Amino acid sequence: MAGWDEDKLALWRRLWEDLEIGYLDEDALPVIVELFARPKAYTSSSCSGRITVIDAEYPWRKDDATIVYKVHRPLRVEELRAVMERPYRYRLWLSVQGPIYHVYVKDLEEANEVLEAAREAGFKHSGVMVASGDRLLLELRTGIRVAAPLIDRDAVYVADLDALVRLANRALVEAKERNVRLLEALRARRPKTLWGPAASRLR
């Protein structure tokens, strides 16, 4: 494993490359920058909330699951219908996932500070995932989640796609609101000394 400073700088550079090619979830960017600005923290993967269509027997069986469609914004019914008309292998599921951030921190003091902000913002399912070497890996996660079967070779499971899409979009709006609350909670706990490359990008 490379050193803390080398890893942080490498992921900071990759962040802007991902933004340039359209890979980054832009709604997550303010939170990501706020976390990078903390001298003792940085993110490795981030999502502000998303709606996906998954091809899987069951969506929690990750080995056989494939994301066939993904948006970080409200979904349109016609988009979903078009996805359902494509070939698939197992069964199509509509899934809404709340925001999730994987954050490396240098010590327990920083872990407690970041987790306190997360829980204040409604990220109740947050905690330490791994402690290794000179860092701890945190997962910041809400309980927001919707999963509904759509179609397979034997049945169409949803009679009213419009109602399902409205429900999914309402869940996504709540997810995005939690994301904003996390940003506000982190800003309220911003350290006096900031990490230079990120400091100039703070809003």
> What tens digit of pLDDT does each residue of 109-148 get?
999 999 999 999 999 999 999 888 889 999 999 999 999 9
The pLDDT score that the predictor gives to residue 61 is: 82
24 pLDDT tier (thresholds 50, 70, 90): confident
Whether 154 maps to a domain, the answer reads yes
pLDDT in tens, 71-114: 999 999 999 999 999 999 999 999 999 999 999 999 999 999 99
Residues 62 and 19: their CA atoms lie apart, in Å, by 26
φ and ψ at 127, to 5 degrees?
A: 180, -175
Q: Is residue 124 part of a domain?
A: yes
Q: Tell me if 110 is assigned to some domain.
A: yes
CATH number of the domain to which 122 belongs: 3.30.1960.10
Q: Has residue 2 got a pLDDT over 80? A: no
Mean of the per-residue pLDDT values of the chain = 93
The verdict on residue 200 lying in a domain is: no
Rounded Cα distance, 193 and 91, in Å: 51
Residue 195 belongs to some domain of the structure: no
pLDDT of residue 171: 97
Q: Using 50, 70 and 90 to split pLDDT, how confident is the model at 202? A: confident
- pLDDT exceeds 70 at position 48: yes
What is the pLDDT, as a whole number, of residue 133?
Answer: 81
Residue 170 lies in a domain: yes
User: Is residue 8 included in any domain, yes or no?
Assistant: yes
Strands (E), 12-123: 41-47, 50-55, 66-71, 92-97, 100-105
Say what the pLDDT of residue 63 is: 82
Q: How many domains does the chain have?
A: 1
Q: How far apart are CA 84 and CA 93, in angstroms?
A: 10
Structural domain harbouring 130: 4-190
Residues 6+ positions from 104 with CB-CB distance below 8 Å: 7, 8, 41, 42, 43, 44, 135, 136, 137, 138
Q: What is the pLDDT of residue 23?
A: 84
The predicted structure's pLDDT at residue 64: 85
> Does residue 165 contact residue 75 with C-beta atoms inside 8 Å?
yes
In a domain, 196, yes or no: no
pLDDT at 1 over 70: no
CA angle 22, 166, 90 (to 5 degrees): 70
